[in-house]
Structure 1
Amino acid sequence: MSFSIAGKTAIVTGGGNGIGLAIGRHFASRGANVMFTDMDEEALIRELGNPPETEENIRHFAGDLREKLTIANLLSATIDAFDRVDILVNAARQIVASDPLNPDDDAMETLLDTNLMTALRVSQTVAKRMIKQAEEDGDGPSGSIVNLSSIAARRTHPDLLAYSVSCAALDQMTRSLAVALAPHRIRVNALAFGSVMSASLMSALKDDDDIRTDIEGHTPLNRIAAAAELAEAAQYLACDASGFMTGQVLTVDGGRTLLDPVAAPAH
């Protein structure tokens, strides 16, 4: 099986910065057509240009994917630009500290909407297009959906209650969609990552460098991953080399969950 994604079309949510941007750029460098999407239009223009970078395989779309109409418009823009969609990477996510004992804390509702429900709605819409393509194409792979989760789904830290629950729910959504979409030859997997040099982590490190020491001390490989390393793992799940893999949550955490100290936050 080939690791190539050349000629395939990918939608990458959260593509304006951090991990989503890294995954989209990596896919584009490997010959895929990429539609970067993000709420932050300024970030998309700053990173990709307006019009987008001179490469014909790069486009971007700005909008709030919590709105169903925006999702439909995103798919239409992708089809207009590239005729089809083969890969979806749900990289848009939000981390908010939460107080598990505060009944007025709305972090749970916010993160379930952003990290779970938005990914579900985008997946459902894109999957319908993939199913149509599968009917037209005949035999062979018809689509791959990759969700970005976190090792926080399997860890316990009070300040990350809402984030942990949203990630755990996303993992279960991954498994459920994998079974539902398998008859259509659409695979659904997730990446559960530990500490990756994302935009939010970079911001946190600027405010408190002790966080770096804490992360590295609880990670057997003793470092923070680069976003490009997560992009490589995302390519594996997106390409035909993982063609018999679905409903799996692939852990990319430098060995952090092997130690599993409860007190160590999953940044």
Structure 2
Amino acid sequence: MAAPHVLTTIDGPVAHVRLNRPDKLNAVDLDVLQGLLDAAAQVRSDRSVRVVVLEGEGASFCSGLDFAEAAKDRVRVARFFLRPPWRRTNAFQQALWAWRELPVPVIAVTRGHVFGAGIQLALAADFRFTTPDCRWSVLEAKWGLVPDMSGTVPLVELVGADVAKRLVLTGEVVSGAQAAALGLATDVADDPMKPAQELIDALLVRSPDSVAAGKKLLNGVRLGSLAAAFRRERLYQLRMFRSPNTVIARRAGMREPGGDTDGAAPQFGPRTFG
């Protein structure tokens, strides 16, 4: 039996999701897309998961879409490309956008290549940590195409209009260091898991409900009206007031430096929001 093209392992509160086509530099085929959809659904249903780490097995994060492999099943490609009437996205888009919609922070850790579908997957994460020599590109221009897997939305949120247009229109390749300077990557390090782990540690001492609500709140502010943003603030805050994890967070906050802390990390219950 062939190995799954996406591997998901859950280690306590952290889910590790890895593209698993290292011999193809983790190029995306239809099975990878389905694997990403299934992995996102698994994470969403597990309320003990509080952070997701997205990586690629082997030397590369993702080298883009595997056109040759996908073309072998044109009926399935058409089915993935057509948008169901009840969704805003088709399957090509949703396999990546699903990570944006998850009620937990998603951290992409990248090495090697972050091309085409790979850069769009990385941009769907909330944070991106990369090596200095990693290669990033919105590569679709090379093939006479445009990015169409949800990546245009986070791209224009992260960088200026001129930078976004240059990347999309030229398909130029930038290094991980350049990606960080442009705002595509959150941080750059020889071992990108080190800053990723520091962020994970910082997230795990906060209420899973306030983290989930904060992510959804900020995503909504970016894409919606002011009235909708203020309404969400009121609604989500009311939910926080009612969350048992808020009580735990409040008690832990009162014990932090300056209070009568005993140094113990707060022990939160399962996420109730999202």
Using the size of structure 2 for normalisation, the TM-score is 0.31
**Higher relative contact order (CA closer than 8 Å, sequence separation 6+):** 1
Larger Rg, first or second structure (1 or 2): 2
